[in-house]
Structures are given as structure tokens and as C-alpha cells.
Amino acid sequence: MERLRNESTPGDARAAFRYFLDSPLANGLVRPVGFPKSANHVHYLPLYRSAPLQIELAAQAVRLEPEADRLCEAIKLVGELNSSILARDPAKTLRAFTDYRHHFGISLLVGFKAIGLHHTSETAQTGRKPYAAFVAPFLAPRRQVITVSFEDSIDRERDYLKVRRSFLGWARESRLLPGDAAAIIDQFSPLEDYGFDLGQRLQAYGRWSHLDAVAYLHRLPSLLERAGRSAEIEAVQEAIPKNVKTTWAETFAQIDIVALENALGLDEQYSDRITFAHLPAWSEYPQIFDYRLRIEAAVGPRLDGRFPVPRMEAAKFVPPCTTATELLATGPCEPSILQKAPKACGTFHRTIALIASLENGGVGSADEEQLCMLLDQTLDVPSMVSREELNAFLPRRPNEPLYEYLRTALLYDLERNKVANHALRRALQRLVAERFEGDIVKLLEHVDTPNGHVSTHLYHTCTEAFLTELYDLYKEADQVTEAQASMLEWRGERKGDEDAILRAKSHRLNLRLRKVRGTIEETRIYVDPLRFVEWVQQELGADLRVLSTQIDEILADPDTGLSLKDPVRTAVVPRLKLLKLLDQCYAEFCTNKIYGVTSFIGRRIRHGTLHGHLVLEFQPEVRRAIDEFKDCAPRFALFLEDWLERFETAVLQMAVDQIHVRSKDKPKGVIVATLDEADKSAVAGLMLGEIAGSIKESPQLLKSVALIREYCWLLFEVDAKRARRAVEALRREFVLNPGQQNYADRPDLERRIREQIRALNSAMAQRFEVVTSWFTRPTNLSPSASVRMLFEAVLDEVRQRSPGFAPTPTITMPEDVDLIGHRFHFFYDALYILVHNAARHAKSDGPLNISTSLKTDEKHTHLTVTVASVLNPDTAEESRAGIDEAMTGEIGDAMVNHGRSGIRKLRGLVDSVEEIAGLTQEYDEDSVIFTIKMRYPRS
Amino acid sequence: MSARTEPEDAPFKILLVEDDNFKQELVEQALREAGFKITLAVGRSVQQAVQLVRSDVYDLIILDIALPSHENRPGGAQPISQPSGGLEVLLELSYEERADKVVIVTQYPEIEYDGTMYLLNSFQSHVAKTISANIVGVILFNAQDHHWRSQLRAILTCEK
């Protein structure tokens, strides 16, 4: 076949292809399916090597000719489909999709449209995926990489440039099947060769369906013209059956671009770029394809990440400017792909205008506020220019701190390394210290605009790890947490992000609880949230998205088993597939050598530190005791010598055997990097349910991925406990215990020995306590507090705020319980309201009785808290009236009006917060008794 | 964080960045045994180390790599554990174009830089491509043998 394609004339090839198509003798050949019902056929079709375009045209012509009439019907139906999409008529759209599927099977062109509709702003917000059935053939039984690449490129949570560059990279590096590679290269970068010529691309589309072949045949003339091969256009025209050509031209003559943009969601901030990413699904319209080609000609290599760029032709799309002012919008913009004027266009076009300007001599010397505005109105600048271009555009200006911050931020985005990160931190700290009184939120407010591009960038840059390393601004860890809370509050107010507000509260409460505890909290474990979340999104995001189509099945699955040991069931049952993905997440969380748990236990605990802390630092104390007793009680000195030797050996052995992630080599490792073990089943079950619910609730994966991270910390608690138990077992094993044996003849000496043993045991216990604390979760990332601790913190705060309040508190608690997660501050809030209420209405020095009872079921811990106080006799009547009214009246605006009764607010919490299940109140003679019922997931 | 001067004059000014007490004591002991007159400043966290680097110039910086971000204090927030926190000192020196000599003394046989783990003997050449800090040695610290002591002594002798 290869020889036929390369050595025959087009005429001979046409005859041969016709023979292959018609002759019963050629039945053994695998032939493309013109109107396939599924995507399976593609994998059985080879992609032949490069051959003259004329030969490929002959092959397609022979195939299309007999199907011309049917193709015309298919084209008309696509026309109807397009009209209904543009008219935003879901019922008609659904009907058109169904009709097409029924009569003509599947095609990439129609499949892309269905995928595109999954990612319009409307479906992104509602999570509805009404066209899932038309995407399904591309997802099962195997996922088609061509559709995955398109879906990822339009996914609003993904970076278009990263997706484009990744898939192009894989295609060029032969990591994809040649047929997929050819189509993917054409989909993203139609003007670049990248190892697949036009004939192979036509062949690749022809393998999919007749419609896709015809669509590409209609795009070919523009490509040939740009390649200086206009002479071949006629042959292309001849390869398309006449009636197909006519129907195509009539059906796809014009498109209402504004209607298309509206259908895709023009309200988005980066809508011109979002629209651009969607356009492979709409390239049957000449003006759409022409627009794509003009963009590709102007900045295609830059979009592909090819630096130095092979050509500087951005000015062919939009004329360059000479000053920054010319590029800046002066009023409302029209972010349509039709609008190219820099002062009125969208961010994507303005970015191309900036690049055109940089290619043609730059935009002069923009001042720092102009630069800030320019970056606010463009996007991905550091990904679209080379380091040399960026340095030429933005030379160092040490006397302009805002400019320097923006410059270093761009350089860091261009090359994410430690040096660039450090330079950015230095510039940012200087700016915040010099201009904004050390308050990073003031900088956020300063750079914030309705676009919010620069402020959002800053907000996302300032992760906990990044803020921690602003060592000039934050000299203590508390200040880092304060800054983080303030930024979250800003975000919450700016974006109406309730989760951010909740986390800010949680951080502040944590700070308060630590002060109440007053202890040193040292953990040596950390998992960089940013890197971990990036890993989940990159490695498992696509699989999670696929499972989102089966989420109802997962949630309805009555099975509660959590075993992953059966590989067949794990590969087939959707619920177990999700569980397997979560298991992979936890394995990564534990085992990543750079940012995972294993990295921290290796570098911060196992190598030397455990031995140093437990043995080397303790050794002098033991040696002093040995010296003290070696003459007067030599048997005791020998006992200590022997003990010290055994202890050292055991500590070293523990480091070698146990302070590891469990593996074949380390079977005693205390960290078990899977959720498939009995101790983790409760948390794993909750994790599975909550994450499935979260995927169902929102197609945006960010929330689900954040939940995965939080649950990984809860799972880790099981491993951390195992590590702490191992440490405790070692301590118990080496508690100095002379038993009944006497080491001295004299009672006074024996007493001294006993005292020495007590002192050594006590010192050792303190050392072990420190080691135990190394194996705890970082409280910022995974906060927790015991109920008793929360009571004490509440009493402390109410006392501070109500100076005369000096009750006699009695806390009756049969069993304490740890509440874990960012939402336990709701419990704090509820308790605060009741105790504060007692401070307002009760006798200031009277009894305050707090009692709790605890019940647990399979999923939840149910906590009932009763707060009883004696009303102040002088104001009892008034207090009763106030309490009664608050308990029965309208809740109204109590949740937002801080001047209103706390009890109303608490009733509001009962309504709105899942964890607060009920509130009741009663009187008992002169006492008022409040009872709240809380419900927390078991962990 | 502390700074103290040895009793005699003409001291060799050293910054020791180390959070583990036992290691700090052993390194200090090794310095004393080497017989040099020294002024020693000690930073126990990355934040303290950065502050000390900003506030003075040193003849030698003895640098641990795995450190907490900040000093831990009762009732305070937890510092973040940083397996490569000591690199911040190198970045500071490089940024400020300083020539203070640095010897890395670490208990872990590898150092992570920009997402790659480097064996100690190759770390210096890799990091030199992007950071201009004056690293004069990288030593694997093992409290159970004395090899690190002789290595440190040799460096001190050479650099003095």
C-alpha cells in the first residue's frame, strides 16, 4: 500500500482505491467507516506515511463519491444543529444531536460541538451536561486522545497554552499514535508542519468519518494558498463531490459570530481567548477558519511555545503601537473576536497587539501604574514572549518598587525556579514595606480592578508556602497566618467566596487556640499544597472528569466496601474506580520524594535528627549519672551503660526500619501509603462520599481537589498515630525500671538512685514528647481542636470582652473529642453566643454549668452541649422577655447584622450550617438552659 | 538566635545555621577543637538565618539545609518544615552578590534544588549554574563518625 501511494500516478491510484472499495476480493482490507457508530474503528486503521497530496485526494474522492447524497443530508443536519446552538435552543439542539447520531453516527466535528457545549459558561455554572450522550462514544470503551485534547483546551480550569503545548509536544515526540498525532497537530497548529504534511492530516481525518474528511477538504484551499501551493487547490475542489460542495457552501456560508460568542459565554473575562479555543469545533465556516489562520500566522509559534520564534508577524493581525497608552482600554471593551482595536478589544487581542508592538520596537517607557494596567488588560504575557524579549521590554528599574514587583512576577511566571522566586519575594516585600505599611492586603486593594487580573495573580501567588518565605515581612509564623487570613477575607469579600471567609475564620480561631494552649507545636511533616494539587489536576484531572459522567451511579451504589484488592472490580465498578483514584492521590501525598510525607520524614526526622534528639542530646545526662554512681553503685552504673547502648541501638533501628513509607524493602514502615486498610476505612468512606458529592455538585474540579487534599491529611492522621504509637512503644520499652532490684546497700544511696531514675525518665519523656509532636498534622493545613479546648478558648474570649464576667464554670464532659477540619469554628461560634449570652443576662459571679454528651454512629459524631446559667435577679424579667423574643421572633437579618441578638444568629446557624443540628431553650426556676446539638463527620 | 564572642581577639566570624541542638553543639565543639578564635552567631530557622545574613558579613557560614521556616515559640503558630530551607541563605548571598564563604553541613545525602535531588558531591556544580554563592564545601554530617569533623577542619584551615 505504501508503494502504491508513493509510486503510482493519481489516476492509477484512483483506480486502485476504487478496486479496494468495490471488489469482493479486497474484503480482507481494513477500510475506513464513513458514518461510524462508535470510535472503535479508528484504532484498526493505519496511518500511511507521507504521500503526494494528489494521492490522498484520490483516496478520499473514491470514498466520498458513492456517499455524496448521504453526506449532503449529514451536512444539512449539522447546519440545523449549528442554528439551534446559536439560537441557544436546548431542545432543538438536543434533537439535532440525536438525529445526527441516529442517522450518521459520530464524527469529530459534531463531537467537538457537544464537548464545547459542556464547557460553555452556562453549563460550567450549573454543572448540567445535557449532551453527555454525544460525548460518551469518545470516552468509552477507551478515551480518544483527540477529543481529550480538545476538551482540555477549552476547560476553563485549565491553562490553554499548557494544554496546547503538552499535546503538541506528545504528538511531535511520537508519544501518540500517528493518526491521533496528525489530527491533534492540525487541531492546534494548522499552519505548522511538525512532521505531518497536509496529505497525512487529510488521511487522519478521513479515518474518523466522511464528514471530517469533507470538513478538512474545505479547509485545505486556505492552507495551500498560505503555503504558496495555490496550484493544487483545483485538485482539492475536484476531490469533493459536486453536490457536497454546493450543500457545504450553502450551509456554512456565514455564521453570526456574536451569536456564537453568546452561546459560548461572552460574559467571561477572557472571552476572546475562550472563543478562540472553541473554534476548531466551528471551522466549517470560512470566516472562522480564516480568523484562526490569521491568529496562527501572527502568534502561532508563540502559542506553541517555540522560542526564539521563527517569524515575527504579529503585526499582520493587528498594527503595533508605540506607547503603552495606545494599548490601554479607555472605556468599556468589546471582547469579541471581531474587535481588534487595542483600546476596545478583549485581553487576547490586546496581548497580540502588545506582542506586535514588542516585535516592532517596544512601547517606550511605561511607568509602573501603566505597566500594572497593561498586565491587568492582557494575559499570559510571560508565556508568549522569550526571556530576551521580556528583558528588553522591562529592563530593571530599582527605584520603582511596583514596576520591579511586576517585572519579577513576569520573570517568575516565565521560568519557575528558586532564583526567580527569590527575586519576586524580595521585590514584593520591598514594595509592601515601602508603599503599603507592610500590609499585603493594601497592595491587593491597590492593584485590584474590575478585571482583577493583577490582584488575582497576586492572590494566587501568595500561597501559604510563599507567604511563609516572606521573611522580611513576617518575622514570626503567627504573622504568616494573620496575613493568610486577611487575604482570604479580602478574597471572600471581593469574590463573594464563602469558603475563603470560612478559612479565614478558621485561621484566626487557630491562632487564638494556640495562645490558649500556650504550648510549642512542632510538626516536621508538611506537604506542599500547591505542588500536590497541581499533581492531582495534571495526573488525575482527566480521569476524575470522566468519572463525573458516572457520578450518579457512584452515589447510588449501595456497596460500602472499600477494598481495592480485586483488580477487575476496581477497573470496572465506577465507585471503586473513584476510590482507586483517591488511593493514588494518597499514595502520591505520602511518597513523592520532593514534596510528599516521605521527603519530610527522611530529611527532617530520620536522617540523624531522631538519633541526635533522643540519644546524643540525652547522652550527657546519662553519662553524668554513670559517672556519679560508678564508684558508689557500680551495678547501677553498669545498668545505665547497658541501657544506653541498647537504647541507642533501638533508636537507630527504629530510624532504619520504621520511619519510612511501608514497602517491600521496609515492611515495618509506619506510613502506609494507601487508604485500603482497616484503620482508614471510616475516613476513606467519608472521603469517597463527599468527593463524589462535590463532583456532582460542581463540574469545576478545584473544590474536589481541595477536598482530596484535606482528606489526605485526615487519612494521614491514621499513619501519624501509628508513628506516634511506635515512638510511644519505644519510650515504654526503655523506661528505666529497676524493678525490685536494689543497686545499693545503703537506703540513702538507693533513694538517690531512685531519684536519678525518675529524673532520667522524666527528661526522656519530654524528649519523646517532642518526637511525637513531629508526627502531627500541620494545624494550618488541617486544623483540629478538642471540645474542651474550644470551651476554654470561648470562656477566655468572653471574659476578655466582658470585663465584669467572672462566673464559676463547671465543665462536665464524660469524654473529650477532637474536631478536625476548617469548619469547627462553627462550634466555637455557637458556643461563644451561648456563653456571651450568659455574660449579658446571668449573674456575673454565678455558676455557669456546661455539660456535654456524645454519641457516635457509623458516619457522625453527635455532640449535645448544655449551657446553664442563673439569671441576674435584677434584670431577670427583662432578660426572659429578650430571650423569649429571640427564640421565637423572626431571624431576619441577624446573620449579617452584628447588633442583633446572638440567639437569633445561632438560630440562623441551625438553619444554614449542616453541623449545627438544633437549638432548644428552657427555664428551670431562676436558670436558663440552652441546648445545642452538633453533628460532625466521624474522623 | 544568639551571638557571642570567644574571649580572645581577631576572631574568625562564623554564622552557624542549625536547628538541631545536638548538631549545633557538635559543630561548635568541632570549631573549638580546631583551635580558631571565633565569633559565632547562630540562626535556628530560615527567618533568623536571613536576618543574620542581612545584618552582618561572615568569614564563614556553616549551613544546615533542612530547617523550620521560623523559630517555634509557645502559643505561636507552627513554622513550616522546610527540607531545603537552608537554600534561602544561598539565594540571599547570591542576590546581594556577597562573597561570604559557605560550607553546607547536612545529615541527608541529597539536596533538592528546583525539583531535582542532587547528591552532595554534585550539588555544588549544579547550583553554581544559577546561584553565585561562594560554596566552599558540602559535608555529610553523621554524628556517629568523625569524618565530617576532619572535613570541616580542613575547610576551616584552608579558608582561614
Per-residue confidence at A123, pLDDT binned at 50, 70, 90? low
Mutation target vs A (from B78, B94, B132; most A CBs, 10 A cutoff): B78
Asked whether residue A896 carries a pLDDT value surpassing 50, the answer given is no
Residue A124 pLDDT level (bands cut at 50, 70, 90): low
> Which of B78, B91, B108 is nearest residue A607 as measured by Cβ atoms?
B108
**pLDDT at position A129, please?**
66
For A210-266, the pLDDT digits (tens) are 999 999 999 999 999 999 999 999 999 999 999 999 999 999 999 999 999 999 886
pLDDT at res. A898? 47
Among partner residues B21, B78, B109, which is closest to A521 by beta-carbon distance? B78
At A892 the pLDDT is 59
Q: Is the pLDDT of residue A128 over 70?
A: no
User: Among the listed ranges A203-207, A264-268, A327-331, B35-39, which one has the minimum average pLDDT value?
Assistant: A264-268
pLDDT computed for residue A521 by the predictor: 74
Distance from CA of B10 to the nearest CA of A (A): 31
Among candidates B50, B83, B131 on the partner chain, residue whose Cβ is nearest the Cβ of A603: B83
> Which positions in chain A touch B70 (Cβ < 8 Å)?
468, 474-477, 480
From CA A431, how far away is CA A418, in angstroms rounded?
20
H or E element, residue A458: helix A453-461
* Residue contact A418–B87, C-beta within 8 A: yes
| Residues B28/B18, Cβ–Cβ less than 8 Å | no
Residues in a beta bridge with A851: A812, A866
pLDDT digits (tens, 9 = 90+) for A713-748: 999 999 999 999 999 999 999 999 877 777 777 889
Q: What is the mean pLDDT of residues A822-830?
A: 78
Which of A458-467, A585-594, A813-822 is predicted least confidently? Answer: A813-822
Summarize pLDDT for B13-64 with one digit per residue, the tens: 999 999 999 999 999 999 988 888 889 999 999 999 999 999 999 999 999 9
Asked whether the predicted pLDDT for residue A891 surpasses 70, the reply is no
Note whether B75 contacts A515, CB cutoff 8 Å.
Answer: yes
Rounded distance, CA B126 to CA A183, Å?
40
**Looking at beta carbons, which residues of chain A come within 8 Å of B23?**
608, 612
A724-740 burial code (b ≥16 CB/10 A, e <16): bebbeebbeebebeeee
* CA–CA min distance A197, chain B (Å): 38
- What gap in Å lies between CA A409 and CA A371, rounded to an integer? 12
Please list, in sequence order, all residues whose beta carbon lies within 8 angstroms of the beta carbon of residue A333, skipping any fewer than 6 positions away: A339, A344, A345, A346
Q: Please count the residue pairs, one from chain A and one from chain B, whose beta carbons lie less than 8 angstroms apart.
A: 142
* Cross-chain residue pair B22–A616, CB shorter than 8 Å: yes
Q: What is the reported pLDDT for A415? A: 93
Task: State whether B80 and A468 contact (CB < 8 Å).
Answer: yes
Position A740: which residue type?
Q
Model confidence at B141: pLDDT above 50? yes
Cis peptide before A308 (omega within 30 of 0): yes
User: What distance lies between CA A391 and its chain's CA centroid?
Assistant: 31
Residue of B nearest to A599 (CA): B83
- The pLDDT, as a whole number, for residue A576 is 93
How far CA A650 is from CA of A524, A535, A624, A735, in Å, comes to 21, 37, 21, 13
Chain B: give the shortest CA distance to residue A591, in Å: 14
Average pLDDT over residues A884-892: 77
C-alpha span between A217 and A53 (Å, rounded): 11
CB-nearest to B75 from A419, A517, A611 is A517
Cβ atoms A402, A431 nearer than 8 A: yes
* Residue whose C-alpha cell reads 530510624 in the numeric block: A655
pLDDT: is A907 or A441 the higher one?
A441
Residue of B159, B158, B152 lying closest to B34 (CA atoms): B152
CA distance, residue B94 to nearest chain A CA (Å) = 9
Tell me if A854 sits within 8 A of A861, measured CB to CB. yes
Cα-Cα-Cα-Cα dihedral of A724, A728, A733, A739, to 10°?
Answer: -170
Say yes or no for a CB contact (<8 Å) between B66 and A604.
yes
Helix (H) or strand (E) holding A165: helix A160-172
A371-375, A395-399, A665-669, A872-876: the lowest-pLDDT one:
A872-876
> A934: closest CA among A855, A868, A858, A867?
A855
pLDDT, greater one: A893 or A666: A666
Q: What is the reported pLDDT for A699?
A: 63
Q: Is the pLDDT of residue A308 over 70?
A: yes
Contacts of A156 (CB under 8 A, 6+ apart): A119, A121, A124, A268, A274, A700
pLDDT digits (tens, 9 = 90+) for A908-928: 888 878 788 888 999 988 888
Round the average pLDDT of chain A to a whole number and report it: 89
CA distance readout (Å), A352 to A186, A358, A566: 21, 10, 53
Find chain A residues with C-beta within 8 A of B73's C-beta: 476, 520
pLDDT over 60 (residue A204): yes
Q: What pLDDT is stored for residue A297 in this prediction?
A: 96
The beta-carbon neighbor of B69 closest among A477, A511, A609 is A477
Residue B122 has pLDDT above 80, yes or no: yes
Contact B112 A517 (CB under 8 A): no
Average the pLDDT over A490-509 and give the result. 88
List the single range of A562-566, A624-628, A817-821, B137-141 with lowest mean pLDDT. Answer: A817-821
Residue A442: per-residue pLDDT: 98
For B87-102, write each residue's pLDDT tens digit: 999 999 999 999 999 9
% of chain A beyond a pLDDT of 90: 58
Q: What is the pLDDT of residue A518?
A: 79
Angle at A445 between CA A439 and CA A447, to 5 degrees: 110
For A615, the closest chain B residue by CA position comes to: B22
Asked whether the beta carbons of residue B47 and residue A779 sit closer than 8 angstroms, the reply is no
Q: How far A181 CA lies from chain B's nearest CA (Å)? A: 30
Q: Is A917 helix (H, G, I), strand (E, B) or coil?
A: strand
> Shortest Cα distance from B83 to chain A (angstroms)?
6
Asked if A762 and A741 touch (Cβ cutoff 8 Å), the reply is no
Chain A: residue nearest B22 by CA? Answer: A617
pTM for the structure as a whole? 0.85
Instruction: Say if residue A141 is preceded by a cis peptide, omega within 30 of 0.
Output: yes
Percent of chain A at pLDDT > 70 equals: 96
Contacts of B107 in chain A (CB under 8 A): 607-609
Residue A847, preceding bond cis, omega within 30 degrees? no
Identify the residue whose cell numbers are 476538551: A151
Q: How far is it, in rounded angstroms, from Cα A657 to Cα A676?
A: 22
pLDDT digits (tens, 9 = 90+) for B142-155: 988 889 999 999 99
CA of A408 vs chain B CAs: smallest distance (Å): 13
The Cα B45–Cα B64 span in angstroms is 10
pLDDT at res. B7: 46
Of the listed ranges A454-463, A803-812, B13-22, the least confidently predicted one is A803-812
Is A594–B117 a contact, with Cβ atoms under 8 angstroms apart? yes
- The C-alpha cell at B159 is 579558608
The CB density around residue A47, as the number of other CB atoms within 10 Å, is: 18
Compute φ and ψ for A531, nearest 5 degrees: -65, -40
